[in-house]
C-alpha cells in the first residue's frame, strides 16, 4: 500500500512540476495572440527588411475561374524608404503581363505602371500604397499610416498546427477580421516573420452602407469631384458585389527573406529607358473626368 501511495505522489508531483515550468515560460506552446504580438514587435524592431515571393489567386466570378499569378520584391528601410515591385500574369491574357512599382529613395515617392510605360510623383506615402495589398509594409512602418494589416485585427485567432513552408517551420494561425472571414497565416517559429498568408475570397465582408454613411459625413472636407467619384465608386462596388457571386482563394508566399544593409541607392527602381514622367494631378483629373462621364467604368461588363 505504501508503495502505491509513494508512486501516486511521484506522478502528481511530476505533473505539478511540469505545469509550473510551462506557466513560467520554460515549456509549452504559445497562444496565437502571443505569436501575433511577437510578429508585430519583430517587424517594429527591424531597421531593414527584404523579401521576394509570389501570390497565386484563383478568382471565381459567377462560376468562371481566372488564375492570377504575381511575383513580387519588397525592400524596406526605416524611417520611410521603400521599393516594392510586382508583375502580374493572368490566365485570361496568356503571354501578357503587367509590372508595377512604388518606391521612395529618401527624397520623393513615385509610382510606375508598364501598361502606360509611365511613372509619376506621388504626393504622400498612403497614396503610393493604395494599390499595394501586402501585409508586411504597414507592420514595418507603423508610423506611416499605410493602412490596416489583417494579422493584428484577427478575432478568434488560434494555432491549428505547424507546417514547413519555404524551408521554415511555421505556426499555422487561422482567424477572421470584420472584412474577411477566412484568413490563415503561416508564421516562422524561429524568426516570427510572415512566411505565408491565405485568404478565402468568398468570405469577404464589406459593409458598403456604413461606408456610404461615413462618406456622406465627410462631404464638407473632400473636394466635390473627388467626393462624387468616391460615392459613385462605392455605389457601383456595392451593386457589383450584390449581383455577382465571388469565390476563390488568394495565397501570398515569401520565399526569401532577409535583413540586409541597405542604402538610398537600393531604393531606386530601374525604369525602362523610354518610360515617360507624367503629372499625377493631370492623370488623376483625367481619370475622374472619364469615370464621372461614363467613359471609363469601374468594373468591366461581365458576360
Whole-prediction pTM = 0.76
DSSP 291: H
The grid cell for 297 is 467604368
Reported as a pLDDT band with limits 50, 70 and 90, residue 240 is confident
Structural contact between residues 136 and 196, judged by C-beta atoms closer than 8 angstroms: no
119-167 pLDDT, tens digit per residue, is 988 877 877 776 666 789 999 998 887 878 899 999 899 999 999 999 9
Q: Is 169 helix (H, G, I), strand (E, B) or coil?
A: strand
The three-point CA angle 130-36-167 to 5° equals 90
63 contacts: CB under 8 Å, gap ≥ 6? 245
Q: What is the pLDDT of residue 301?
A: 55
Cis link prior to 107 (omega < 30° from 0)? no
- Cα gap 218→126, rounded to integer Å: 18
186-200 pLDDT, tens digit per residue, is 999 999 999 999 998
Q: What is the pLDDT of residue 61?
A: 79
Question: In terms of Cα–Cα distance, which of 165, 176, 172, 232 is closest to 202?
Answer: 176
Structural contact between residues 177 and 155, judged by C-beta atoms closer than 8 angstroms: yes
The pLDDT of 98-126, averaged and rounded, is 88
- End-to-end Cα, the chain, rounded Å: 82
Q: What is the pLDDT of residue 246?
A: 74
Domains and CATH numbers, the chain: 31-292 (2.50.20.10)
Reported as a pLDDT band with limits 50, 70 and 90, residue 55 is very high
- What size, in residues, is the chain? 303
Amino acid at each position: 500500500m505504501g508503495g502505491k501511495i509513494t508512486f501516486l505522489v511521484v506522478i502528481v508531483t511530476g505533473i505539478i512540476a511540469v505545469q509550473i515550468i510551462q506557466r513560467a515560460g520554460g515549456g509549452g506552446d504559445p497562444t496565437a495572440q502571443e505569436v501575433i504580438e511577437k510578429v508585430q514587435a519583430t517587424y517594429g524592431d527591424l531597421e531593414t527588411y527584404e523579401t521576394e515571393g509570389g501570390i497565386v489567386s484563383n478568382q471565381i466570378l459567377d462560376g468562371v475561374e481566372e488564375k492570377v499569378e504575381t511575383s513580387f520584391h519588397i525592400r524596406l528601410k526605416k524611417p520611410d524608404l521603400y521599393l516594392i515591385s510586382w508583375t502580374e500574369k493572368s490566365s485570361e491574357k496568356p503571354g501578357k503581363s503587367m509590372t508595377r512599382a512604388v518606391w521612395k529613395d529618401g527624397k520623393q515617392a513615385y509610382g510606375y505602371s508598364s501598361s502606360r510605360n509611365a511613372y509619376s510623383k506621388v504626393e504622400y506615402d498612403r497614396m503610393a500604397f493604395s494599390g499595394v495589398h501586402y501585409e508586411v509594409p504597414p507592420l514595418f512602418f507603423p508610423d506611416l499610416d499605410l493602412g490596416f494589416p489583417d494579422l493584428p485585427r484577427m478575432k478568434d485567432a488560434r494555432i491549428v498546427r505547424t507546417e514547413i513552408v519555404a524551408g521554415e517551420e511555421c505556426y499555422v494561425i487561422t482567424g477572421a477580421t470584420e472584412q474577411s472571414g477566412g484568413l490563415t497565416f503561416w508564421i516562422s517559429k524561429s524568426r516570427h516573420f510572415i512566411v505565408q498568408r491565405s485568404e478565402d475570397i468568398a468570405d469577404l465582408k464589406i459593409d458598403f452602407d456604413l461606408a456610404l454613411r461615413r462618406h456622406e459625413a465627410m462631404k464638407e472636407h473632400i473636394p466635390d469631384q473627388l467626393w462624387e467619384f468616391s460615392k459613385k465608386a462605392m455605389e457601383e462596388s456595392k451593386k457589383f458585389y450584390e449581383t455577382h457571386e465571388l469565390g476563390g482563394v488568394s495565397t501570398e508566399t515569401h520565399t526569401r527573406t532577409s535583413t540586409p544593409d541597405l542604402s538610398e541607392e537600393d531604393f531606386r527602381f530601374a525604369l525602362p529607358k523610354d518610360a515617360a514622367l507624367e503629372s499625377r494631378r493631370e492623370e488623376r483629373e483625367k481619370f475622374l473626368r472619364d469615370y464621372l462621364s461614363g467613359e471609363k467604368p469601374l468594373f468591366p461588363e461581365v458576360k
